[in-house]
Structure 1
Amino acid sequence: MATPHLDYHLHLLHHLRTILAALGEAEQVPEESHALFLERFDELLTLLPQDPLQSQYLGQDLICQVIQRYPQIAHLVPRDLLWFFGGDCLHFMPDVELDLYQQLEERRYAAEQQGESFDWVEEKRIRLSAATQDPHQ
């Protein structure tokens, strides 16, 4: 069952897929291994909506591989995807960022428990804005 939270992350994955495809088209990477990688990425895009929990390890593996295989685009990997897949992906996030995402996750969980709606993007924007105004947070 798709949720707004899952849909948001699928959108980010599709965007990252577009960037990866552009790398291949620009002949920035070895074509054969890149094509196989894109096939696995497409597998994730298919499996994630069907079984989000079972897809976590594949997602972790692929996001980590994007950063390791394609360092020229590592800065374009949405930070939300690192948090979403967790595991080894979290090694690419500094502690201050991990704290922010932990707060977001706790707020999202609390909202769900109370039957409230939760806008991940808006809540993140608010927290980032507050953090830049109070650097001691």
Structure 2
Amino acid sequence: MASPYLDHHLALLAHLRGILVALGEAEQVPEESHALFLDRFDELLTLLQESPEESLYLGQDLLCQVIHRYPQITHLVPRDLLWFFGGDCLHFMPDEEITLFQALDERRYEAEQNDEPFDWVQEKQLLALPQESSKH
């Protein structure tokens, strides 16, 4: 069952896949192993749509591999994906960031419980604003 939350993360994965494809096209990685990695990445995209809960471990594994295999693009990996897949991915997030995402998840859960709409991106931006800016 698709949701705006899942759709958001699928879009981020598609964006990350585009970055990985560009790396291969720029011949910055070994072609054969990179092609196999992209195949597994595509498998994740398919599985995530069919069975989100069952694909979380594969997502954790692949995101950790992205960081280890392609350190030159680590800064381009969407932080939302690290939180979404959790587990070992959380090792790549500082405590402050984990706190932000925990608060965001709590807001999302509360909205779902009250059958209210929830815009992940907008709420994330609101939470990331410095406290002083809300006083103006």
Cα distance, 1:130 vs structure 2: 3.1
2:2 is paired with a residue of what secondary structure?
coil
User: Under a length normalisation based on structure 2, what TM-score does the superposition of the two structures give?
Assistant: 0.96
1:74 aligned to 2:74? yes
Query: What residue number does 1:28 align with?
Result: 28
Cα distance in 2 for partners of 1:7, 1:115 equals: 18
Cα distance in 2 for partners of 1:105, 1:133 equals: 22
- Could you tell me which runs of 5 or more consecutive residues in structure 1 were left unpaired when the two chains were aligned: none
| Number of aligned positions between the proteins | 134
Identity rate of aligned residues, in percent?
72
5 Å-filtered alignment, 1:10-89, equals 10-89=10-89
**What value does the CA root-mean-square deviation take over the aligned residues?**
1.2
Does 94-103 or 123-132 show the bigger shift? Answer: 123-132
User: Under a length normalisation based on structure 1, what TM-score does the superposition of the two structures give?
Assistant: 0.95
Q: Deviations over 1:8-57 (max 9, x none)?
A: 00000000000000000000000010000000000001110100000000
- Could you tell me which runs of 5 or more consecutive residues in structure 2 were left unpaired when the two chains were aligned: none
1:38 is paired with a residue of what secondary structure?
helix
Query: What residue number does 2:95 align with?
Result: 95
